């Protein structure tokens, strides 16, 4: 179960209904950055009473509380993931695949740039768009 995410929700004052728990678990276990429609489809396979409106409301609340991240990759759909760790994305412009990556050198560079410009870095997001090289 998405215990860390649930703890953060409770800490933010959210009531943890059964439907919210299901939606949180789906987001927490997803490895594909699902859209609202995909989250709804997966949620309904667990509880057929979950409406698309409930999914929208829940994801919007979680986004406002910075517990999930909303992305609009190349397909212009809002897609979601938990906001529990810092990572970046490479998006395949042909196939739409999204790969996550981390790089400590990049993190250091980003922090250095922010500092040189006179800022304390609070958050950042990096999305790289490209085509796969021939193998």
Entry pTM: 0.73
Can you state the percent helix, strand and coil of the chain, rounding each to 5? Answer: 45, 15, 40
User: Predicted confidence band at 75 (pLDDT cuts at 50, 70, 90)?
Assistant: low
pLDDT tens column, 21-36: 999 999 989 988 899 9
Domains and CATH numbers, the chain: 3-82 (1.10.10.10), 88-130 (3.30.1490.190)
- Could you tell me which residues are beta bridge partners of residue 98? 91
Tell whether the torsion through CA atoms of 23, 26, 29 and 32 is positive or negative. negative
Distance of alpha carbon 115 from alpha carbon 118, whole angstroms: 5
């Amino acid at each position: 179960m998405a215990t860390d995410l649930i703890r953060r929700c409770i800490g933010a004052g959210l009531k943890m209904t059964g439907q919210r728990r299901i939606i949180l678990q789906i987001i927490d276990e997803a490895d594909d950055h699902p859209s609202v429609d995909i989250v709804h489809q997966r949620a309904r396979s667990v509880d057929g009473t979950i409406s698309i409106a409930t999914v929208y409301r829940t994801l919007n609340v979680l986004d406002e509380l910075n517990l999930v991240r909303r992305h609009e990759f190349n397909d212009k759909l809002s897609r979601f993931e938990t906001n529990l760790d810092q990572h970046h994305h490479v998006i395949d412009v042909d196939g739409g695949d999204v790969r996550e990556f981390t790089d400590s050198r990049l993190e250091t560079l980003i922090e250095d740039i922010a500092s040189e410009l006179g800022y304390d870095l609070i958050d950042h997001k990096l999305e790289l768009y490209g085509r796969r090289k021939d193998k």
